[in-house]
Chains A and B, each alone.
Chain A
Amino acid sequence: MFRMGKNDHATIQAILDGDKEAYGELVRSHSATLLRVAWRITGNEADAEDVVQEAFLRGYRKLETFESRANFGTWIYRIAVRCALDRISGRTRDEVCRVGEEIDPEQDQVQVADEAAGPERLLLSGEIAALQELALQELTATERTAFVLRHLEGCTGEEIAVALGIVPNAAKQAVFRAVQKLRQSLAPMRVKA
């Protein structure tokens, strides 16, 4: 899951010795990984790029606290997860709802406006991803991040707990609640399909 450059520690020493340009090597090495996880968590390309920038910026400022025994890839990955979590935590429910969406108070689930496009069309056109994204947006920031890390990034419960700064049992609960909500959200679509 994490990539660790062989010379990352030497590079970090060089940076701390005043060689700012050396940080460019780390940025180039880990940008793609951070973009992937940031995009999966935020679900937004622009936000994901901002998260990558912010993560590297935070990492640079905290570089003196980086322990030589740690893996820089893991370390900056966690920073990116936190940045992404912070970003989606700031969103309001209204902000993530798209035009034409409305909340069903009884079922407490997102219903997507048909706009003359049936489920078949959604499936065929690949817009099922958009439905999934909407379902994901309904999750809390922690649930969404935990689910992404578990389901898409393949992290273990322990790794999720460390990345989110919570206990492992809370991480498992967050994943379970996310799965439960997603299944409920996507159940009507499956029936229609």
Chain B
Amino acid sequence: MKHVSEEQLVEHFYGEGCARVEKHVKSCDQCARALADLAIDLAELRSPQLPVRDDSYGERVWLDLAPSLPAYPKRKRSWLNGVWLDYLPFYAALGRGLGFATACSLVLAGTFFAGRLWEQKKQAPIATAPKPVQPHQKQPPPQRVVVVVLGDHLDRSERLLVELKHADADSAEDIGPLRDEARTLLVANRTFRQKASETDDPELATALKHLDRVLGELANRPGGLDAHGLAKLQNEMKSDRLLFEVRVLRSRTPEKQVRSTIQASGGTI
């Protein structure tokens, strides 16, 4: 068994020993006796009687000391180093609040301007440097396709109506090609009527409706078109002013646009 050293006993006596020392001293008679001897020796070292001083001792010390003490110069309390220090906690709290608000404002402003810059940067290439589109890749807008084809359709319909106006019912050579052309135009015309109703173009829809009736009569009349039927169609065309309406509609479509569009798609006028 390893005994406790004298140094450890001293520490233990003054209450700063470790638990191991305490446990050992309790179980070891030799160390317990050593601790007891130490306690006896140190108990004899009592504090000698302190010099007696009355309550005025402090005052006397001060009276002796005061003449040799120079007074500290009065601290000037300027705004930067003085009175405001008394309210430092208040200013600190206020400053923290204002700082937080300022930081939030800066973040918001920064975000806003960053967003604006990002938008401008994103839009700039479109506005300043449009991406070149190859002719074969160009996809005309749906409305433009209708316009182009409608112009062609109206053009063909106008020619058909002109020929029909001057056709001779007795001449099979005149009526036959007109009937074939009317059948071709009839299918397209119904498509255009539906499209015109969807695009809210009543003038076009009305004209195409009249044209549809004429084309249907010309294409589908049972037994073919006789003189009476031809005369009836011609009268309807005249009463409806169909040819005039078709011409007006065709004039609404710019000639230049029609031509260029048809050229772009490989067609000719």
Which residues from chain A sit less than 8 Å from chain B, CB to CB? 15-21, 23-24, 27-32, 35-36, 39-40, 45, 48, 52-53, 56-57, 60, 63-64, 128-129, 132-133, 150-152, 156-157, 172, 175-176, 179-180, 182-183, 186, 190
Q: Is the CB of A24 within 8 A of B68?
A: no
Nearest-CB residue, chain B, relative to A129:
B48
Closest Cβ–Cβ distance, residue A77 to chain B (whole Å) = 15
The 7 closest A-B pairs by CB, nearest first: A28-B58, A18-B74, A31-B58, A20-B71, A27-B62, A24-B62, A129-B48
Q: Is the CB of B51 within 8 A of A179?
A: no
Closest Cβ–Cβ distance, residue B139 to chain A (whole Å) = 79
Known contacts being A32-B57, A175-B10, A186-B44, is A18 close to B71, with CB within 8 Å?
yes
Docked complex Cα distance between A53 and B66 (Å): 10
What are 18 A-B contacts defined by CB distance under 8 Å? A16-B72, A18-B72, A18-B73, A20-B71, A27-B61, A28-B58, A35-B50, A39-B51, A53-B64, A56-B61, A57-B69, A60-B65, A150-B14, A156-B16, A176-B7, A180-B6, A183-B38, A190-B41
Q: Is the CB of B47 within 8 A of A152?
A: yes
Give the chain B neighbours of A128 by CB distance below 8 A: 44
Q: Is the CB of A53 within 8 A of B48?
A: no
Give the chain B neighbours of A24 by CB distance below 8 A: 59, 62, 66
B75 at interface (Cβ–Cβ under 8 A)? yes
Closest Cβ–Cβ distance, residue A127 to chain B (whole Å) = 11
Known contacts being A32-B57, A151-B45, A179-B10, is A157 close to B68, with CB within 8 Å?
no
Known contacts being A48-B51, A53-B64, is A157 close to B7, with CB within 8 Å?
no
**Which of B38, B44, B61, B69 is A52 in contact with, Cβ under 8 Å?**
B61
B256 at interface (Cβ–Cβ under 8 A)? no
Q: Is the CB of A32 within 8 A of B6?
A: no
**Which of B50, B58, B65, B68 is A29 in contact with, Cβ under 8 Å?**
B58
B138 at interface (Cβ–Cβ under 8 A)? no
B53 at interface (Cβ–Cβ under 8 A)? yes
Give the chain A neighbours of B48 by CB distance below 8 A: 129, 132-133
* A-contact 0/1 string along B1-28, CB 8 Å cutoff: 0000011001100101000000000000
Give the chain A neighbours of B114 by CB distance below 8 A: none
Known contacts being A16-B75, A35-B51, is A27 close to B65, with CB within 8 Å?
yes
A129-B49, A157-B16, A172-B11 known; 13 new pairs, CB 8 Å cut-off, are: A15-B72, A16-B75, A18-B74, A20-B69, A28-B58, A28-B61, A29-B58, A35-B53, A35-B57, A52-B61, A63-B72, A176-B7, A182-B45
Give the chain A neighbours of B6 by CB distance below 8 A: 176, 180
Which residues from chain B sit less than 8 Å from chain A, CB to CB? 6-7, 10-11, 14, 16, 38, 41-42, 44-45, 47-51, 53, 57-59, 61-62, 64-66, 68-75
Number of A-B contacts (CB under 8 A): 100
Known contacts being A24-B66, A57-B69, A156-B16, is A32 close to B58, with CB within 8 Å?
yes
Docked complex Cα distance between A151 and B10 (Å): 11
Nearest-CB residue, chain B, relative to A173:
B7
Closest Cβ–Cβ distance, residue A93 to chain B (whole Å) = 21
Closest Cβ–Cβ distance, residue A36 to chain B (whole Å) = 6
Q: Is the CB of B50 within 8 A of A36?
A: yes
Give the chain A neighbours of B75 by CB distance below 8 A: 16-18
Give the chain A neighbours of B45 by CB distance below 8 A: 132, 151, 182, 186
Closest Cβ–Cβ distance, residue A21 to chain B (whole Å) = 8
Give the chain A neighbours of B42 by CB distance below 8 A: 151, 179
Q: Is the CB of B72 within 8 A of A31?
A: no
Nearest-CB residue, chain B, relative to A13:
B75
Docked complex Cα distance between A128 and B44 (Å): 9
Give the chain B neighbours of A172 by CB distance below 8 A: 7, 11, 16
Docked complex Cα distance between A32 and B75 (Å): 31
Give the chain B neighbours of A28 by CB distance below 8 A: 58-59, 61-62
Q: Is the CB of B72 within 8 A of A17?
A: yes
Q: Is the CB of B53 within 8 A of A32?
A: yes
Docked complex Cα distance between A102 and B77 (Å): 64
Give the chain B neighbours of A176 by CB distance below 8 A: 6-7, 10-11
Give the chain A neighbours of B50 by CB distance below 8 A: 35-36, 39
